[in-house]
Amino acid sequence: MRAMPFLQFPQGFQWGAATASYQIEGAYDEDDRGLSVWDVFSHQPGRVVNAEHGDVACDHYHRYREDVDLMARLGLQTYRFSVAWPRIFPFGYGRVNEKGIDFYQRLVDALLEKNIQPALTLFHWDLPQGLQDLGGWANRDVADRFAEYAALLYERLGDRVSRWITLNEPLIFTQFGYRLGWLAPGISDLKMTAAAVHHAMLAHGKAVQAFRASGRAGEIGITNANTSFEPADDSPETLRATELARDFETRLYHGPVYGKGYPQAVLDYYASEDAPFPIEPGDMEVIASPTDFLGVNLYSRQRVLPDDARGVGYRAAAPTLPLLPMGYEAAPHSLGDFVRWVSKEYGRPKIYITENGVCDNTEPVNGAIDDHLRIELLQGFLAGLHGAIADGADVRAYYEWSLMDNFEWSFGYSKRFGMVWTDFATQARIPKKSAAFYSEVIRRDGLDA
């Protein structure tokens, strides 16, 4: 029998897992935490499946030590988490809440004790409600408030955290939060969307500048949401439409970070809808402040067709692959494809896969969770990633979303992404079969082809 080829990852490649504050912490009103837009939104009728919310979530705020022990047992080398801004500034600005800082210092210390490198996301969607009351991301001042909040964290955590992510997925929290209204704050207004996008990107730039000014050692970057866009056929119209999809959903959030500005087609569209981007002189230079890495989140692909009836000029073609519970296709080739594309588009930046994973709702049978679909798709994602690295992409780390089942935003607890099962009634954590698979990948620094 021939040995199966082994996909060896480069030396020093790091394996981790990711979570976010509102999705796991709970303890929403403890230790002087302020309210976030998600506390308010999730308690409004009709916003979240089964009227669920993150009041308790995985109770990680009280169980962080056990959770860090669990990470160590799984063999994780790095852990990406986010800080809840309203724990630090209950109203978003002004008075600092020392108890909030203390929690994250304890969490980081626990990670370091286990030799797990922290990767800290400054903003993963839980904007303080106090700032939302002033217009949220649609108000330009939010960019300065964000930079002040970031600067405080560099000062108070920068002696032990050296990997910083400014924003998680500006595409999603602006387009779904301000245009479609499916996520907090639940607004549908194109003018506010344009403002939110621009102010989010400006906030990113200001936080990068504040990091350099802090003199802290370490690295900083942004994490974007991505889909691998594929033309549904090879007609010139479809190829053009695919570029438009990339303009509206990818380049809009990457281009300005790499000094390429916002795509003209996007600026023209918003202007034509009386929702111009509120760009002031000097803004684009701030947004283009050099970063150290690019954070890539990717879950699937989308086939694209032209659509002249829609202002944006493109639409999604019908899926051809099996659908996952989230409604998108099971397309493991999409990770390698996207990484190749983005690496080339932006001059081969250092890349961290800050999220990739699978929604697989397999339930326990006799106490064991056989999530073989997740394993199968992870194998495909990682094989694709390995190929992209072999082709020259500079990928240094992979964070599986997620460590454990958690609050999946407007889907509540109905979508499970964890490698560890969370029993939300008892808060028991049960590693799934895919956790054993992942531990083995980590141990061997690779996988069988």
Binding site residues, ligand NOJ, CB under 6 A = 20, 23, 168-169, 297, 355, 401, 408, 417
Any catalytic annotation for residue 355?
yes
Residue in 25, 52, 169, 243 annotated catalytic = 169
Residue in 249, 355, 400, 408 annotated catalytic = 355
The least distance separating ligand NOJ from the CB of residue 322, rounded to whole angstroms, comes to 18
The least distance separating ligand NOJ from the CB of residue 17, rounded to whole angstroms, comes to 12
The least distance separating ligand NOJ from the CB of residue 22, rounded to whole angstroms, comes to 9
Its sign, for the CA torsion 128, 130, 132, 136, is: negative
Nearer to ligand NOJ, 24 or 151 (CB): 24
Nearer to ligand NOJ, 18 or 284 (CB): 18
The least distance separating ligand NOJ from the CB of residue 356, rounded to whole angstroms, comes to 9
- How crowded is the C-beta side of 136, counted as CA atoms within 13 Å? 23
Nearer to ligand NOJ, 25 or 169 (CB): 169
Nearer to ligand NOJ, 23 or 193 (CB): 23
Beta bridge partners of 167: 123
Nearer to ligand NOJ, 82 or 97 (CB): 82
Nearer to ligand NOJ, 80 or 216 (CB): 80
The least distance separating ligand NOJ from the CB of residue 8, rounded to whole angstroms, comes to 28
The least distance separating ligand NOJ from the CB of residue 429, rounded to whole angstroms, comes to 18
**Cis omega (within 30 of 0) for bond into 402:** yes
Per-residue burial over 233-264, b = 16 or more CB atoms within 10 Å of its CB, e = otherwise: eeeeebeebbbbbbbbbbbbbbbbbbeeebbe
Q: Which residues are catalytic?
A: 169, 355
